[in-house]
Amino acid sequence: MADVAIRLSNGVLVATLRRAEARNALRRETLDLLLQACETTSADPKVRALLIRAEGKAFCAGADLQEWAEAEAQGTLETYGWTERARRLVLSLRALQKPTIAAIQGAAVGAGADLAFACDFRLMAAGASLRAGYLGMAYSPDMGGAWLVPRLIGEARAKGYFLRNDKLDAESALQWGLAHEVMPDDAFDAHAYAFAQTLADGPTIALGLTKHLIQTSRERTLDTHLVEEEAKAKVCGRSHDAGEALDAAIARRAPQFQGR
């Protein structure tokens, strides 16, 4: 059985971590399959949103310790390829021009939490939790968390999250700004899929360009950003969905976006 199950449903590509017996820890195969899911999301016009979820009690326990220990025993810890795969995955998630959602139904620790931070949205079940985890293994972050988290919640809180290594329950994560919504445990899967479906039903081109504008805004002055906004707006204006939105507004009906 593959580490990640992939299915496409009404424009939502659902990537399910299914190593429940290993708390969905990320080994090299897992990272490769998640990267393939990103590549499919990017290339396939039928895919309009990516939802990453997990089976079992944990969302993801971080790096696979068994694989880690084997690499250490073989003297290949710094070269066995885990970090390179993790790096490519984070960059791919950030670069996707389609919405990405992490559905956290249980504990997300270390790189498992960082996987969620690389997504656009983090939905948490009421019983889920986040924990940096790195210091418990005498390691510093190695899957983008120290870059992503300060941008989500600021430097001071990011230091608290990483350096104290405390477990954050779902409500605390919501208050800190690390989660977007907290949902009941018993209806979590249905709520998470409905959330992803709403995004998949949206104007995909405009969603992707808006995501890009937000993520790159710190690289520009306001003047140059306004120029970039104008360029992106022109692209949106040439899309099918922009014409559909205008027709729907005039007809006073809900638009039916096609993602093109």
| DSSP string computed for 140-178 | ---SSHHHHHHHHH-HHHHHHHHHH-PPEEHHHHHHHTS
Task: Scan for tokens 């972050």, then name that residue.
Answer: 141
CA atoms within 13 A on the CB side of 209: 18
Query: Tell me: the pLDDT tens digits for 185-209?
Result: 999 999 999 999 999 999 999 999 9
Q: How far apart are CA 147 and CA 127, in angstroms?
A: 26
Query: Tell me: the pLDDT tens digits for 15-65?
Result: 999 999 999 999 999 999 999 999 999 999 999 999 999 999 999 999 998
In the chain, % of residues over pLDDT 90:
90
Q: Which residue has the higher pLDDT, 1 or 41?
A: 41
Q: Residue 68 pLDDT more than 90?
A: no
Query: Tell me: the pLDDT tens digits for 95-153?
Result: 999 999 999 999 999 999 999 999 999 999 999 999 999 999 899 999 999 999 999 99
pLDDT confidence of residue 72: 81
Work out the number of other CB atoms within 10 angstroms of the CB of residue 133.
24
CB 58 within 8 A of CB 110: no
In the chain, where are the structural domains located?
4-200, 204-251
pLDDT confidence of residue 77: 77
Homologous superfamily (CATH) of 4-200 is: 2-enoyl-CoA Hydratase; Chain A, domain 1 (3.90.226.10)
Q: How far apart are CA 140 and CA 110, in angstroms?
A: 10
The alpha carbon torsion through 228, 230, 234, 235 (nearest 10 deg) reads: 20
Query: Tell me: the pLDDT tens digits for 172-184?
Result: 999 999 999 999 9
Q: How far apart are CA 169 and CA 145, in angstroms?
A: 18
Structure-block tokens of residue 92: 């791919």
Average of per-residue pLDDT values in the chain: 95
Predicted TM-score of the model (pTM):
0.95
Q: Of 94, 100, 119, 121, whose CA–CA distance to 216 is shortest? A: 94
pLDDT confidence of residue 248: 87
pLDDT confidence of residue 178: 97
Q: Residue 210 pLDDT more than 90?
A: yes
pLDDT confidence of residue 96: 97
> Of all residues in the chain, what percent are helix, strand and coil, respectively (each to 5)?
55, 15, 30
| 75: confidence class by pLDDT, cuts 50, 70, 90 | confident
